[in-house]
Chains A and B, each alone.
Chain A
């Protein structure tokens, strides 16, 4: 069986598990600490890692997700190379914003918060322009773009639940998209049982967002 190794808070891990859930591929998870030597197995030294059924160790979440996307059907992958390239681009654009969202949440001062938010918010401005009134990015069917943005939108929702701050308040289409992604039946399987606790502890126990 496929095995995923990561630490719990990692958004790139959630990107991989969301793809596994969307594709209904069975997998096991091994959680490790940030500094676990397991990650030295990985050429980029980063979580997550995925061990395939034949025992190959894969690294880099974007590469892992593209691998999972290519095995089996049931996701919208684009009918021609141009459509596929646009799905890849909007998905990569999502995963490139995990770190900006993380640094925004971890800001200590208002000045840091505002400058980090300005970077993160660009992604919201750009995605809002692309969304329609359909539940998913590509009309009615789930694609890698939805999977890539799910960790961002899920985390934004947790922040709203705990602090009342809604990053999506000015972005109604993104807000509606968040709602459809949060109602995916397998959403809670993409993170550990204690994720909400770990998330609030890591992001919402100190720093500018809490003081605010």
Chain B
């Protein structure tokens, strides 16, 4: 069986588990401690970063973008008959999502209002770009079926939903098409399966405690902790 190694809060592994859940591919997952990476992990990970994936034949793959492509090649695409050009556009829109996981992470981790405003502006501009792209006529990004673009953005939209449920702050405020897209993804009931059982608790502790977003006011900067602690 496929085995993933990651840590619980990592958005990059959530993209991979979303792809696996959407395709109903069985897998195991082992979580490690980001601050204390075990030696066996360092021995098999080519760049020391999570997630890594061990295939059924025992090869270790790394880089979540490459793992996503592997799942598509090995287990078949989510959508059939996509042209090369369309595939390039789908990849570009997917990367626009996944390359902003750290933007979202950094925004949520901000300690004071000024940093939060500066970082959230970038994140909100990103959602505005998608608002322009969405037609509003389909449930998901491209059609009524899930595609790779939905898989990449599901992580961002799921985390935005948790924040909204927690304290009412909506990164998608004023963006009705993105909000509808978010709801459609949540309605698939896949998202809860893509994270560990204690994910909400850990997420709340990590992003919504002792942060500007969590407390609604500036908080004390803890020593040695910045956006770089988000992943990797």
- What separation, in Å, do the CA atoms of A171 and B192 have in the docked complex? 45
Complex Cα gap A85–B74 (Å) = 10
* Chain B residues whose CB sits within 8 angstroms of the CB of A93 once the complex forms: 46-47, 62-63
Q: How many B residues have CB within 8 A of the partner chain?
A: 29
Report which of A62, A82, A129 forms a contact with B95, defined as CB distance below 8 A: A62
Q: How far is the CA of A86 from the CA of B62 in the complex (A)?
A: 8
A-B contact pairs, 17 of them (CB 8 A): A60-B95, A60-B96, A62-B65, A63-B92, A64-B88, A66-B87, A67-B84, A67-B85, A67-B87, A70-B87, A81-B70, A85-B61, A86-B59, A93-B47, A93-B62, A93-B63, A123-B47
Bitwise interface map of A from 67 to 105 toward B, beta carbon under 8 Å scored 1, else 0:
100110000000001101110111011000000000000
Minimum CB–CB distance for B198 against chain A, Å: 29
Q: Once the chains bind, are B66 and A43 in contact (CB under 8 Å)?
A: no
Max count, chain B CB within 10 A of own CB: residue among A64, A85, A126: A85
Contact with A along B71-101 (1 / 0, CB 8 A): 0011000000000110111011101100100
- CA gap between A58 and B91 in the complex, in Å: 10
Q: A183 an interface residue at 8 Å Cβ cutoff?
A: no
Q: A43-B96, A85-B73 are in contact. Are A58 and B61 (CB under 8 A)?
A: no
Q: CB < 8 Å: which of A59, A84, A88, A92 contacts B92?
A: A59
Q: Which residues of B contact A129 (CB under 8 A)?
A: 46
Q: Which residues of B pack against A, CB within 8 Å? A: 46-48, 55, 57, 59, 61-63, 65-67, 69-70, 73-74, 84-85, 87-89, 91-93, 95-96, 99, 129, 133
Q: Which of A43, A64, A71, A88 contacts B65 (CB 8 A)?
A: A88
Question: How far apart are B171's CB and chain A's nearest CB, in angstroms?
Answer: 18
Cα distance A54–B84 when bound, in Å? 12
Whether B55 pairs with A82 at a CB distance below 8 angstroms is yes
Q: Is the CB of B129 within 8 A of A126?
A: no
- Complex alpha-carbon distance, A70 and B91, angstroms: 13
Establish whether residues B73 and A81, one from each chain, have CB atoms under 8 Å apart when the complex forms: yes
Judged by DSSP, the binding face of A is helix
In A28-63, the 8 Å CB interface with B consists of: 43-44, 52, 54, 56, 58-60, 62-63
Which residue of chain B has the shortest Cβ distance to A60 in the bound complex? B92
Main SS at interface, chain B: helix
Contact between A63 and B47, CB atoms less than 8 A apart:
no
Beyond A81-B73, A85-B73, list 5 extra A-B contacts (CB 8 Å).
Answer: A43-B133, A44-B129, A56-B85, A58-B89, A63-B91
In the complex, which residue of chain B has the Cβ closest to the Cβ of A50?
A: B88
Contact: B69 with A60, CB < 8 Å? no
Q: Does A133 contact B (CB under 8 A)?
A: no
Report chain B residues within 8 Å CB of A82: 55, 57, 59, 61, 70, 74
Bound-complex Cα distance A86 to B59 (A): 10
Tell yes or no: A170 within 8 A of B by CB: no
Whether A89 lies near B61 (C-beta < 8 A) is yes
Per CB-CB distance, the 6 closest pairs between chain A and chain B, nearest first, are A67-B88, A85-B70, A88-B66, A89-B66, A89-B63, A81-B73
Separation in Å of the B124 CB from the closest CB of chain A?
Answer: 14
- List B contacts of A81 (CB < 8 A): 70, 73-74
A90 cross-chain contacts in B, Cβ below 8 A: 46
Bound form: Cα–Cα A92–B96 in Å: 15
Asked if B85 contacts A52 (CB within 8 A), the reply is: yes
| Closest B residue to A82 using CB positions | B59
Complexed CA–CA distance, A123 and B49 (Å) = 12
Task: Given the known inter-chain contacts A52-B85, A62-B95, A92-B63, please indicate yes or no for A43 contacting B69, CB distance below 8 A.
Answer: no
Question: Contact at B91–A62, with CB atoms within 8 Å?
Answer: yes
Residues of chain B lying within 8 A (CB to CB) of residue A59 = 92
* Alpha-carbon separation in the docked complex, A63 to B99 (Å): 12
